[in-house]
């Protein structure tokens, strides 16, 4: 109780009250600017770009364009890599809803130039670099750790760093890359409508 009364007595004098008011205003403005900046960074949308991967755009590209862009084995050539991909069409089975590609040697990721295998981390790092040059600073980047056992199932064995990066465009499309997805030697690329991840 004494702690509450003492400040009240101290700031009852006019000069001290002005100083306290200024300090409170500065504190609140600093907190607001910090929170607003953080929120905008995480949810920033570039109103000048349309995210696409090899010309494929969610809710725009038709089934024919998807099939033509992916080769007969559902592989996509992107940024010097050959990646195993799949896709989900909209409810009418006509327009691209989501494009996803698995990365890593186990999924057959290869360098196109020499046909050698490419691991998920190599693919991830190159794609982040290229997509950043193409689409600008990502809307969200986070680094976390996952724990995997030696059979690549969640367990107590070993911790692995995971990098997650995403861009959002003016149409609400999101390009999402993750360096490790469930396995230490598998990553993921996903292109689709924006959702909270």
The per-residue pLDDT for range 149-195, each reduced to its tens digit, is 656 555 557 888 999 999 999 989 999 999 998 778 899 999 998 76
Residue 90 sits in the same domain as residue 164: yes
Distance in angstroms (rounded) separating the CA atoms of residues 98 and 189: 10
Task: Tell me whether residue 50 is in a domain.
Answer: no
Mean pLDDT of the chain: 76
Phi and psi dihedrals of 160, rounded to 5? Answer: -125, 140
In a domain, 51, yes or no: no
Burial of 12 from C-beta contacts in 10 A (0-12 / 13-18 / 19+): exposed
Name the residue range of residue 28's domain. Answer: 2-42
What is the distance between the alpha carbons of residues 113 and 110, in angstroms, rounded to a whole number?
9
Number of domains in the chain: 2
Residue 49 lies in a domain: no
Q: Is residue 47 part of a domain?
A: no
Average pLDDT over residues 31-39: 32
If asked whether residues 169 and 116 sit together in one domain, one would say yes
């Amino acid at each position: 109780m004494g702690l509450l009364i003492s400040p009240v007595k101290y700031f009852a004098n006019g000069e001290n009250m002005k100083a306290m008011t200024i300090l409170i205003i500065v504190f609140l403005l600093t907190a607001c600017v910090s929170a607003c900046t953080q929120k905008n960074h995480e949810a920033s949308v570039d109103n000048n770009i349309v995210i696409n991967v090899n010309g494929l755009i969610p809710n725009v590209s038709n089934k024919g364009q998807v099939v033509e862009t992916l080769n007969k084995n559902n592989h996509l050539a992107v940024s010097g890599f050959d990646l195993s991909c799949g896709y989900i069409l909209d409810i009418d089975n006509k327009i691209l809803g989501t494009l996803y590609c698995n990365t890593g040697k186990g999924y057959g990721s290869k360098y196109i130039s020499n046909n050698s295998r490419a691991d998920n981390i190599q693919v991830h790092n190159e794609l982040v670099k290229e997509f950043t040059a193409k689409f600008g600073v990502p809307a969200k980047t986070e680094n976390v750790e996952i724990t995997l056992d030696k059979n690549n199932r969640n367990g107590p064995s070993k911790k692995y760093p995971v990098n997650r990066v995403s861009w959002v465009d003016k149409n609400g499309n999101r390009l999402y890359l993750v360096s490790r997805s469930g396995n230490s030697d598998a990553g993921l690329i996903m292109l689709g409508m924006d959702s909270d991840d």
